[in-house]
C-alpha cells in the first residue's frame, strides 16, 4: 500500500519507491507536515510533536509546519489560501474533517470552523518515479459569495537550510538560461505576471544540498500551469525551508458563488538522493508514461524560416518535394497562409485561406504532401487578433482592454478575451472547420504576446489559461490522432500545464545549434526529450557551422528542419538525407530512453550527453572549439549493464604531431568493452576542428 493511515496517531504516510512523505492531524485539527525525504518503512515511528511557541513573538501557528496553512490567526508566514467572506471576515480557521483513500490517491477534507468553506487536498503517488502530485479544491457551501484572494496548490517543507536553488531566467531567443544561487535568509520569488507562460522564468524549482549529476539530495517540483505562477522559497527562522507554488494571486481574484468550486493546478514534486540526473529521469519517465503516450514524434519540416510570411502554394509544394526526398515525415506550413497576412500587422482572426497565395485553397498542397507520403501540419495563433481584420471590426469588444485607454498592441496584435463564451466558441469552431475541411495531422499553436489590460475581468489570469486547455482538450477529443505543438514566440509555453494537453514544445526561436545545447541542457532538467522540438536551420548567427553540428544538436530532441532546402546543394540534400535516416534508426533511444547529462573533469569545453534504452546507448559529444594541443576527454558513461559487453565505433584520435604533419582524420575504430569498463574507466574521445561533434552508438553484445 503506497498510502497508509496510522489510525492511532492520525498520521498519513505516503510512500514512493525510495521516498516517504508524512503528515498528520493534531488535536486542534491542524494538518501538520511531518516528513519528506528518504523512505522510512517503520511508520509507527512517526509522531506529531506537541505544539510549543518559542515566545509570544514566535506563535505556534507561525512556526508549525502545515500542509495547507490558511491566512488567519497569528500566521505571518506564507499561506496557501486567503479569502474574504460576505460579512467582511478575512481570517480563515480550518479543522480536519475526514479522508478518503483509494489505491494511489488520498483526499483530505478540511472545513472552516464557522463558515461553509471546504478545502479538499488531493494527493496522487507515482511510486516508481518517486513523485507525488497534489492540488487543492475550495468549495463554497454558503448562500453568499466568497472572494478568493489567493489560492496556491500547496506548501512543502524541506528539513534543511543552506540549499542551492537551480532555476531558469531568460527572454525571447534566450530561454532556459540556467542559474544557481545559494539561498540566503529571506524569500526568493520566481513568478510570471504575463497571463500566458513566460520566457523569463519557468514554473519549477530544484533545491539541492551539494548534489552533483550523479549523487546527492535534490528536492524538486513543477507546477502544471501555463499562466501566472508564483513560487516562494524561504528558509524559515525555525530551521526548515518552505516552498509554496501555485497560481500567482497578482491582479487576480476569484468570486465563488453559492455551490461553486475552484481547483488549483497540480504541482508535482519529488526527492532523490541520486543527484540531478535521477531527478530528470524520474520526471521524464513520469511525463512519457502519463502525458506523452503515443508514437514517436515524426521528423518534421517547417517552412517558416525558409519563406517567412511569403508563402505560396507552388513554392510550398517544391519545398514539400525536397523535404520528402530527404526523408521528412511531416510537412508543416507556418504563419502567412490565411487572411491578409503578409506581415505581422494583419490577418490574425481572419482564418480563411488567402486566395492569392492559395487560389485553389490548401487542399492541392495537402494532397501533394500526402501523395509524397508525409503528414501535413499547419500553424495557427488562435488567441490573437490584428486591428485591421474583419474579426476585429465586427467584434471590437472581444479583446482584453480597459475603458478610456488605447488597447495595448504588441507585435501589432491584441489578445482575445477568452473568458467570453462567444470567443471560446469562435476559436473552437475555427479550428474545427479547419480540421473538418482539410486532412491535417499536426497543429502548431502559437501565441506571440503576453496579455494586458484585463480590466474588470479579475479572473482572466486563471480563466484564459483554463479556456485554452478546454479548447485543446475538446479538439483532441474530436480529432484524437491530431498532434498539437505548444509554441509562444519560441519557448514561451513550455511547462507541465501545456504538456498535459499539447504534444510537443517549440523550445526556442533561437535555432543556433550551439546556443541550443545550453537550452537543451536546462530544459532537460525538468521536461522530457520527446517533447523537445529542435530544427536544423539557416537562421542563426553562426551560419557557417558544419551541417553535422546542426543535425547532431537538433537530433538531441524531436528532429525538425527549417532550412530553405530549395537552396541546398546536391551534397547538402544527400547529407541531410543520411542524417534523417540515421535519426530514424536511433529515434526510439532518443525519444523513449533515459537521458544523462555527463559530467567530466576535463578543461576541454566538451558538451556530453547520453541516452540509454534497452540494449543500446548513444553518446552525443560536441566541441565548439578545438586546439591542437588539447588532450582527449575521458568520458564515463552511465546507466549501462556492468557485466555486458557493448560494441561501438569511435573516431581515431590523432596526436598533435600527426595533425601538424597533415595525417588524414575521420577514421573510426570499432571496439568492444564491458559496461563496467565504460562506466568506471570510461572512453577517451578527441574531437577535432571547430564545431566538431559526433554520436557514438553502443550496442549490447555485438
Ligand atoms: C513565433 C514562432 O516561435 C515561430 O516559430 C513562428 O511560428 C512565428 N511565430 C510565426 O509568426
Is the separation of the CB atoms in 526 and 202 below 8 Å?
yes
Residue 25's pLDDT is 97
pLDDT of 301 reads 98
Report the pLDDT averaged over residues 273-297: 96
- Tell me the C-alpha distance between 522 and 178, whole Å: 6
> Can you read off the three cell numbers belonging to residue 676?
563496467
- Residue positions annotated with a catalytic role: 446, 509
Q: Which of 306, 413, 485, 487 to mutate to test the pocket of ligand 1 (most atoms within 8 A of CB)?
A: 487
Predicted confidence at residue 657, as pLDDT, reads: 83
The interaxial angle of helices 570-592 and 313-325, nearest 10 deg, is 70
Q: For residue 531, give every residue at least 6 positions away whose Cβ sits within 8 Å of its Cβ, in sequence order, or none.
A: 287, 292, 297, 499, 503, 504, 505, 558
Q: Which ranges in 326-387 belong to alpha helices (H)? A: 363-371
Among the atoms of ligand 1, which is closest to the Cα of residue 488? 3
Phi first, then psi: give them for residue 682, nearest 5 degrees. Answer: 85, 175
31-77, pLDDT tens digit by residue? 999 999 999 999 999 999 998 888 999 999 999 999 999 999 999 99
- Residue 542: per-residue pLDDT: 79
**Has residue 628 got a pLDDT over 80?**
no
- Any ligand 1 atom below 6 A from CB of 490: yes
678 CA from centroid of ligand 1 (Å): 42
What pLDDT shows up at residue 702? 62
Instruction: Read off the pLDDT of each residue in 188-213 and give the average, rounded to a whole number.
Output: 96
Instruction: Give the C-alpha separation, 275 to 103, whole Å.
Output: 29
Q: Alpha-carbon distance 168 to 318, whole Å? A: 40
Give the pLDDT of residue 544: 84
Is the C-beta atom of 495 inside 6 A of ligand 1? no
305 Cβ inside 6 Å of ligand 1: no
Residue pLDDT, tens place only, 373-405? 999 999 999 999 999 999 999 999 999 999 899
Atom number, ligand 1, closest to the C-alpha of residue 490:
3
Q: What pLDDT shows up at residue 476? A: 97
Atom of ligand 1 at shortest distance to CA of 509?
Answer: 3
Nine-digit cell at 2? 503506497
Sheet strands side by side (includes 19-25): 3-6, 11-15, 19-25, 31-38
Helix crossing, 313-325 with 363-371: angle to 10°? 10
Q: List the single range of 146-155, 503-512, 598-607, 684-693 with lowest mean pLDDT.
A: 598-607
Q: What phi-psi label fits residue 548: left (phi over 0), alpha (psi between -120 and 50 degrees) or beta?
A: alpha
DSSP label at 265? P
Q: What is the pLDDT of residues 561-617, one digit of tens each?
A: 999 999 999 999 999 999 999 999 999 999 999 999 998 766 668 999 999 999 999
Ligand 1 centroid–CA 506 distance in Å is 9
* The predicted structure's pLDDT at residue 662: 78
- Average pLDDT in the 490-494 region? 96
Per-residue pLDDT tens for 424-448? 999 999 999 999 999 999 999 999 9
Q: Is 379 in the pocket of ligand 1 (CB under 6 A)?
A: yes
Q: Indicate the average pLDDT of the chain.
A: 96
pLDDT at 136: 98
Specify burial of residue 253 (Cβ count, 10 A radius: 0-12, 13-18, 19+).
middle
Q: What is the pLDDT of residue 298?
A: 98
Residue 153 in this model has a pLDDT that exceeds 80: yes
Contacts of 517 (CB under 8 A, 6+ apart): 553, 556, 607, 622
* Pocket probe mutation, ligand 1, options 504, 506, 507, 537, max atoms within 8 Å of Cβ: 506
Our answer on whether the CB atom of 485 is closer than 6 Å to any ligand 1 atom is no
* Beta-carbon count within 10 A of 433 CB: 12
490 CA → ligand 1 middle, Å? 7
Task: Give the number of other Cβ atoms within 10 Å of residue 41's Cβ.
Answer: 9
CA of 588 to the centre of ligand 1 (A): 28
Q: Verify whether ligand 1 is closer than 6 Å to residue 334 (CB atom).
A: yes
Using the atom order of ligand 1, give the atom closest to the CA of residue 444: 7
Going by C-alpha positions, the residue among 691, 505, 687, 520 that lies closest to residue 597 is 520
pLDDT at site 604: 63
Can you give the length of the chain in residues? Answer: 702
The DSSP-derived string for 550-602 is HHHHHTTSEEEE-S-GGG--HHHHHHHHHHHHHHHHHHHHHHHSEEEE-----
Please name the helix (run of DSSP H) or strand (run of DSSP E) that holds residue 281, with its range, or none: helix 275-290
Q: What's the gap in Å between 446 CA and the centre of ligand 1?
A: 7
Ligand 1 contacts CB of residue 175 (under 6 A): no
pLDDT over threshold 80, residue 630: no
Q: Whose CA is nearest to atom 10 of ligand 1?
A: 335
Ligand 1, residue 308: give the atom nearest the CA.
Answer: 10
Distance 519 CA to ligand 1 centre (A): 18
State the distance from the centre of ligand 1 to the C-alpha of 486, rounded, in angstroms: 11
Residues 607 and 236: their CA atoms lie apart, in Å, by: 38
Ligand 1: residue whose CA is nearest its atom 11:
335
- Express as a percent the part of the chain with pLDDT over 70: 99
Contact 568, 322 (CB under 8 A): yes
Whether residue 487 has its Cβ less than 6 Å from ligand 1: yes
Judged against a pLDDT cut of 80, whether residue 456 lies above it is answered with: no
CA distances from 651 to 609, 632, 648, 669 (A): 17, 11, 10, 6
Convert the pLDDT of each residue in 244-278 to its tens digit: 999 999 999 999 999 999 999 999 999 999 999 99
In 293-340, where does DSSP find H-type helix? 304-307, 313-325
pTM higher than the cut 0.85? yes
C-alpha cell recorded at residue 467: 479556456
* Å from CA of 341 to ligand 1 middle: 13
pLDDT greater than 70 at residue 195: yes
* 485 membership: H or E segment, kind and range: strand 483-486
User: Ligand 1 within 6 A of 698 CB?
Assistant: no
Cβ(90)–Cβ(83) below 8 Å: yes
Evaluate: CB of 489 within 6 angstroms of ligand 1: yes
Cβ-based neighbours of 477, under 8 Å, separated by 6 or more: none
What nine digits make up the cell of 533? 522540438
Poorest-confidence range of 49-58, 242-251, 297-306, 413-422? 49-58
Model confidence pLDDT, tens digit, residues 76-110: 999 999 999 999 999 999 999 999 999 999 999 99
Shortest-distance Cα residue to atom 2 of ligand 1? 489
Mean pLDDT value of segment 340-358? 98
Give yes or no for residue 506 CB within 6 A of ligand 1: yes
DSSP 620-660: EEEESS--TTPPPEEE---S--TTSEEEEEEEPPPPHHHHH
Residue 448 CA to ligand 1 centre (angstroms): 8
Amino acid at each position: 500500500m503506497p498510502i497508509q493511515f496510522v489510525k492511532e496517531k492520525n498520521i498519513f504516510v505516503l510512500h514512493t519507491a525510495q521516498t516517504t512523505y508524512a503528515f498528520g492531524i493534531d488535536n486542534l485539527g491542524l494538518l501538520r507536515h511531518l516528513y519528506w525525504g528518504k523512505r522510512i518503512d517503520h511508520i509507527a515511528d512517526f509522531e506529531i510533536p506537541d505544539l510549543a511557541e518559542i515566545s509570544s513573538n514566535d506563535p505556534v501557528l507561525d512556526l508549525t509546519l502545515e500542509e495547507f496553512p490558511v491566512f488567519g490567526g497569528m500566521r505571518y508566514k506564507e499561506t496557501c489560501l486567503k479569502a474574504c467572506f460576505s460579512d467582511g471576515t478575512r481570517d480563515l480557521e480550518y479543522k480536519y474533517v475526514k479522508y478518503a483513500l483509494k489505491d494511489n490517491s488520498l483526499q483530505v477534507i478540511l472545513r472552516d470552523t464557522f463558515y461553509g468553506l471546504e478545502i479538499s487536498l488531493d494527493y496522487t503517488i507515482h511510486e516508481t518515479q518517486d513523485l507525488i502530485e497534489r492540488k487543492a479544491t475550495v468549495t463554497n457551501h454558503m448562500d453568499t459569495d466568497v472572494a478568493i484572494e489567493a489560492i496556491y496548490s500547496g506548501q512543502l517543507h524541506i528539513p534543511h537550510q543552506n540549499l542551492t536553488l537551480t532555476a531558469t531566467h531568460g527572454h525571447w531567443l534566450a530561454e532556459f538560461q540556467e542559474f544557481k544561487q545559494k539561498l540566503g535568509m529571506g524569500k526568493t520569488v520566481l513568478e510570471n505576471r504575463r497571463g500566458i507562460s513566460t520566457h523569463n522564468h519557468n514554473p519549477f524549482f530544484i533545491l539541492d544540498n551539494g548534489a552533483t549529476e550523479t549523487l546527492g539530495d535534490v528536492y524538486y517540483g513543477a507546477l502544471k500551469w501555463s499562466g501566472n505562477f508564483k513560487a516562494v522559497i524561504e528558509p524559515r527562522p525555525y530551521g526548515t525551508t518552505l516552498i509554496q507554488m501555485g497560481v500567482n494571486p497578482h491582479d487576480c481574484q476569484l468570486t465563488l458563488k453559492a455551490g461553486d468550486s475552484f481547483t488549483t493546478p497540480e504541482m508535482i514534486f519529488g526527492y532523490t538522493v541520486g543527484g540531478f540526473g535521477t531527478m530528470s529521469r524520474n520526471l521524464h519517465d513520469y511525463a512519457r508514461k502519463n502525458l506523452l503516450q503515443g508514437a514517436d514524434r515524426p521528423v518534421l519540416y517547417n517552412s517558416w524560416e525558409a519563406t517567412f510570411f511569403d508563402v505560396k502554394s507552388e513554392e510550398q509544394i517544391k519545398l514539400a518535394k525536397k523535404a520528402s526526398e530527404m526523408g521528412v515525415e511531416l510537412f508543416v506550413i507556418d504563419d502567412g497562409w490565411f487572411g491578409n497576412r503578409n506581415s505581422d500587422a494583419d490577418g490574425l482572426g481572419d482564418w480563411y485561406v488567402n486566395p492569392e497565395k492559395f487560389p485553389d485553397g490548401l487542399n492541392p498542397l495537402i494532397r501533394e504532401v500526402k501523395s509524397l507520403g508525409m503528414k501535413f501540419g499547419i500553424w495557427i495563433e488562435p488567441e490573437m487578433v490584428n486591428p485591421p481584420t474583419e474579426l476585429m471590426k465586427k467584434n471590437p469588444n472581444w479583446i482584453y482592454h480597459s475603458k478610456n485607454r488605447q488597447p495595448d498592441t504588441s507585435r501589432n496584435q491584441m489578445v482575445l478575451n477568452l473568458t467570453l463564451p462567444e470567443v471560446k466558441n469562435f476559436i473552437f469552431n475555427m479550428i474545427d472547420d479547419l480540421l473538418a475541411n482539410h486532412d491535417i495531422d499536426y497543429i502548431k499553436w502559437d501565441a506571440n504576446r503576453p496579455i494586458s489590460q484585463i480590466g474588470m475581468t479579475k479572473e482572466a489570469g486563471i480563466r484564459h489559461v483554463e479556456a485554452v486547455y478546454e479548447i485543446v482538450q475538446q479538439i483532441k477529443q474530436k480529432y484524437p490522432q491530431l498532434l498539437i505543438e505548444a509554441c509562444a514566440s519560441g519557448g514561451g509555453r513550455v511547462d507541465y500545464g501545456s504538456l498535459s494537453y499539447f504534444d510537443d514544445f517549440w523550445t526556442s526561436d533561437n535555432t543556433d545549434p550551439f546556443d541550443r545545447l545550453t537550452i537543451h541542457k536546462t530544459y532537460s532538467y525538468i521536461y522530457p526529450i520527446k517533447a523537445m522540438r529542435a530544427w536544423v536551420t539557416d537562421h542563426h548567427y553562426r551560419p557557417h557551422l558544419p551541417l553535422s553540428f546542426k543535425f547532431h544538436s537538433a537530433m538531441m530532441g524531436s528532429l525538425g528542419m527549417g532550412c530553405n532546402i530549395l537552396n541546398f546543394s546536391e551534397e547538402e540534400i544527400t547529407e541531410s538525407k543520411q542524417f534523417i535516416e540515421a535519426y530514424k534508426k536511433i529515434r526510439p533511444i532518443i525519444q523513449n530512453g533515459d537521458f544523462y547529462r555527463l559530467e567530466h573533469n576535463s578543461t576541454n569545453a566538451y558538451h556530453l550527453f547520453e541516452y540509454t534504452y534497452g540494449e543500446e546507448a548513444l553518446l552525443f559529444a560536441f566541441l565548439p572549439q578545438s586546439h591542437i594541443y588539447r588532450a582527449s576527454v575521458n568520458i564515463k558513461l552511465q546507466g549501462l549493464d556492468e557485466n555486458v559487453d557493448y560494441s561501438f565505433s569511435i573516431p581515431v584520435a590523432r596526436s598533435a604531431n600527426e595533425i601538424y604533419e597533415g595525417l588524414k582524420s575521420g577514421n573510426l575504430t570499432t571496439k568492444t568493452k564491458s559496461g563496467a569498463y565504460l562506466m568506471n574507466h570510461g572512453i577517451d574521445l578527441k574531437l577535432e576542428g571547430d564545431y566538431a561533434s559526433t554520436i557514438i552508438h553502443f550496442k549490447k553484445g555485438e
